[in-house]
Amino acid sequence: MVAIAPPRSRWPRRGRGESKSEVMDRGTKVRWAVITLLMWAIALLFIAPFAWMIVSSLKREIDVFRLPIRWIPEPVTWGNYVEVWTGNYPLTKYIGNSLIVAVARVVGELFTASLAAYAFARMEFRGRNAIFVLYVATLIIPHQMLLVPRFILYREIGIYDTLWALILPGIFTVFGTFLLRQFFLTIPRDLSDAARVDGATEFQIYSRIILPLAKPALASLAILAFVWSWNDYETPLVMLTTEANFTVPLGLTRYIDEGGGFSAALIMAGAVSSVLPVIIVFLLLQRQFIAALARSGLKG
Amino acid sequence: MATQGTDIIDIPGQRVPVVGERTKRRSLRPGSWQGYLFILPNLLGFAIFTLLPLAFALAVSFADWDVISGIDGIDWIGFGNFTELVRDANFWGSARNTLVYVGFSVPLTTAAGLGVAMALNGPIPGRTILRLVFFIPFITNTVAIGAVWLLLYHPRYSPLNGGLRNLGIENPPAWLASSDWAMPALVIIAVWAGAGYASIIYLAALQDISPDLYDAANLDGASSWERFKSITLPLLTPTTFFLLVTGFIGASQSFGLINLMTEGGPGRATTVLSYYVYQNGFEFYRFGYAAALSWVMFAGVLLLTLFLWRVQRRMVHYE
């Protein structure tokens, strides 16, 4: 009895037909070979600016723009890295600042967001939904609108031109609360109800039941918050003027707008140094990283 | 042996579902004030760093004010900023530039992401490496991106144009130095930087589509294009909608790359609204006008979002 499967409301993840889709005829094989070649060609184009950045960072200044491009530096020069790490505008200083900001933001955001998310997802109180709608509504407000008032506010409360200007607003985010709330909603109610019957307080349920179960979501938020904090350029651009406080992206601009006398090799060494930590985080936590993006995307 | 659930908490006996439990839960229990305690830290910060600035932005949009003259220097001018804005050719110019930038970069990025995801979802050798390659630009900071592309687009030494000449293109574009090519140059960077992200979101969605659907289509003798058109694409519409909306919101707000690479030029060719707001606020110190501009921007983004929302309600296929 061969029958075409009627539409069903729930499809099994691994259907009986899966083996069938693995069998490929000749035409399909040829097509995939072509697609593979094409994808690798496009990937080469995609990575070319990046490869050029790395190669140039290892060249002498006079060799950077020599055409045709030599993809293997000759001689290999590490001096650019020594200069950007320890020279007049030392990246070590900026990296230190970036790390302080990123770590403080991640820790603070995990704390305030998980507490608020717990209340929004699993507690009941008057005005809960109204407050939540207000939260979510501010997600589409243009960032620019907050720049000027925040600039004035920070000057009034004395955090303008300090690292706090980057840390504090990053601790109280709507996005983090929203992301965690969506995850907390998926944890079965019975777990916390049973604990309540046993006389557990709300805080105990939050810290001993929900948080341990929410580790993947907390990790997602931590990864995203770290990378966004590390890469943020626009906030420090507006809020910082003292060079000793610069984070990595802002510090990098020192090598770009140096009144025309910029050095391409130095900029590239700085750029490589600024990207490397994020790539390492990505390589180490690739699975979690991708899960984090998918989560922030699809549940949104 | 105990199940996973009972490891964590001790459930006294089997729980029997109680009829009407649902309604009971909805009612306010004593101790519901605790909820406020939980949201308090976040809410406090949200009020200080988001709500307060928003209220201030609303107030100051009805004033003529520069930060130098202090709070006393606020000159209330009613709708003055908004009437000026309507007559400001630079406002309309930057609105047009924003539409061009967003209108090209977001759909192109989304389409590129879909293409990459479709390919990487198939039997391609080295998928992990390819995924990494496409994704790296997305996790690269704006300044590093700006630095590389500033040099690649260099008016005299551009290695990119060196490559194009090798391919036989006699007069490659002057990119950032040309008012015709500066905007396309920025769109290229946006697609390059964003396609990897879109592809990851699409890949996650593709993996949720049941293979049974394709098998059923195969039995019907559907071609791969037909399968893509009538199964994949419709089932991906929620993802597409999400990427378009968040893409429009994000792309209309970013000004970092423009600040680094073109400063809105040549002429005003790449002055988008977000950069015009930044200029008015932090270069011309016209805080009131900047606030008014950002409210108009917000209205624009809101309208676009609502429009897309209506479109998707008719188009999107949720399972």
What pLDDT, in 10s, does the model give residues A182-204?
888 888 888 888 888 888 888 88
Answer yes or no: is B164 within a domain. no
Tell me what the mean pLDDT of segment A95-105 comes to: 92
What is the distance between the alpha carbons of residues B3 and A297, in angstroms, rounded to a whole number? 33
pLDDT of B199 over the 70 cut:
yes
What is the distance in angstroms between the Cα of A89 and the nearest Cα belonging to chain B? 15
Half-sphere exposure of B269 (CA within 13 A, CB side): 18
Provide the pLDDT for residue B108: 95
Question: Residue A107 above 90 pLDDT?
Answer: yes
Task: Supply the pLDDT for residue A10.
Answer: 37
Residues B129 and B48 in one domain: no
Let me know whether B248 and B186 are in one domain: yes
Which chain B residues contact residue A141 at CB under 8 A? 54, 298
Closest CA to A108 of A54, A169, A61: A169
Chain-chain contact of B239 with A47 (C-beta, under 8 angstroms): no
Q: Are residues B94 and B42 in the same domain?
A: no
Q: Which helix (H) or strand (E) holds B249?
A: helix B233-253
Q: Residue B126's domain is classified under what CATH number?
A: 1.10.3720.10
Average pLDDT over chain B, rounded to an integer: 79
Residue B69: its pLDDT value, please?
67
CA distances from A50 to A245, B135, B150, B277 (A): 28, 12, 13, 31
Under 8 Å between Cβ of B198 and B168: no
Chain B residues touching A31 at Cβ < 8 A: 224
Chain center to CA of B104: 13
Chain A nearest-CA distance from B243, in A, is 8
Residue B167, class by beta-carbon neighbours within 10 Å (0-12 exposed, 13-18 middle, 19+ buried)? exposed
Nearest to A169 among B35, B49, B243 (CB): B49
Decide if B172 is inside a domain: no
Q: Does A54 touch chain B (CB under 8 A)?
A: no
Residues B254 and B280 in one domain: yes
B27 within some domain: no
Question: If you ran DSSP here, which 8-state letter would residue B63 be given?
Answer: E
On whether both B189 and B222 belong to a single domain, the answer is yes
ipTM of model? 0.78
CA–CA dist B183, B250 (Å, integer): 17
**CA gap A151, B278 in Å, rounded:** 12
Residue B304 lies in a domain: yes
Higher pLDDT, B227 or B117: B117
Non-local (6+) Cβ contacts of B13 within 8 A are: none
Q: Which residue of B has its CA nearest to A236?
A: B256
List the one residue out of B184, B229, B192 whose CA is nearest residue B109: B192
Residue B123: which domain range? 88-142+181-315
The pLDDT assigned to A20 comes to 45
A3 has a pLDDT exceeding 70: no
Please tell me which of the candidates A126, A149, A278 has its beta carbon nearest to residue B28: A126
Amino acid A101: pLDDT? 94
Point out which residues pair with B63 in neighbouring strands: B76
pLDDT for the residue numbered A257:
61
Dist CA A5 CA A188 (whole Å)? 33
Residue B207 lies in a domain: yes
Tell me: pLDDT of A282 over 50.
yes
The full DSSP string for A46-111 is: HHHHHHHHHHHHTS-GGGTT-SSPPSS-SS---HHHHHHHHSSS-HHHHHHHHHHHHHHHHHHHHH
pLDDT at A155: 86
Q: Which of B57, B78, B99 is the last residue of a domain?
A: B78
pLDDT at A11 over 60: no
Residue B170 clears pLDDT 80, i.e. is over it: no
Angle, in degrees to the nearest 10, between helices B182-206 and B142-152: 130
Do B300 and B261 fall into the same domain?
A: yes
| Nearest in space to A76 (alpha carbons), one of A90, A96, A94, A60 | A60
Cα(B14)–Cα(A190) distance, integer angstroms: 12
Q: How many domains does chain B have?
A: 2
Looking up tokens 């592809």 gives: B199
**B234/B302 same-domain check:** yes
Residues 6+ apart with CB under 8 A from A21: B211, B214, B215, B218
pLDDT (tens digit per residue) in B242-287 = 888 888 888 888 888 888 888 877 888 888 888 998 888 888 888 8
Do B98 and B71 belong to one domain? Answer: no
Query: B12-47, pLDDT tens digit by residue?
Result: 433 444 444 444 444 445 457 888 889 889 889 888
Domain boundary among B24, B56, B78: B78
Instruction: State the Rg of chain B over Cα.
Output: 26
Question: Is the pLDDT confidence value at A140 over 80?
Answer: no
Amino acid at A218: L
Whether A297 and B41 lie within 8 Å, measured CB to CB? no
Distance CA B236, CA A282 (A): 26
In terms of average pLDDT, the best of A20-29, B94-103, B153-162 is B94-103
B20 φ, ψ (degrees, to nearest 5): 85, 5
Has residue B26 been placed in a domain?
A: no
Question: Is the CB of residue A88 less than 8 Å from the CB of residue A270?
Answer: no
Mean pLDDT of chain A: 80
Q: Domain for residue B166, yes or no?
A: no
**Whether residues B256 and B293 fall in one domain:** yes
DSSP A258: S
Q: Which segment, A170-174, B151-155, B221-225, B309-313, is predicted with the most confidence on average? A: A170-174
Residues B50 and B137 in one domain: no
Q: How confident is the model at residue A97 (pLDDT cuts 50, 70, 90)?
A: very high
Q: Which two tokens stand for residue A33?
A: 């070979």
What would the mean pLDDT of A113-121 be, rounded to a whole number?
91
Phi, psi (degrees; rounded to nearest 5) at B4? -60, -40
Ramachandran assignment for B271, one of left (phi > 0), alpha (psi -120 to 50 degrees), beta (any other): beta
Q: Quote the radius of gyration of chain A (alpha carbons, Å).
A: 25
| Chain A hits for B239, Cβ within 8 Å | 297-298
> Mutate which of A148, A192, A279 to disrupt the B interface (most B C-beta within 10 Å)?
A148
Residues of B in contact with A250 (CB under 8 A): 143
Alpha-carbon gap, residue B90 to B96, rounded angstroms: 10
Asked if residue B7 is part of any domain, the answer here is no
Does B69 share its domain with B195?
no
Domain architecture of chain A: domains with CATH: 27-77 (no CATH), 85-298 (1.10.3720.10)
**Whole-number Å distance between alpha carbons of B214 and B230:** 10
Q: Phi first, then psi: what are they for B63, rounded to 5°?
A: -135, 160
Same structural domain for residues B204 and B263? yes
Residues 6 or more apart whose Cβ sits within 8 Å of residue B132: A282, A283, A286
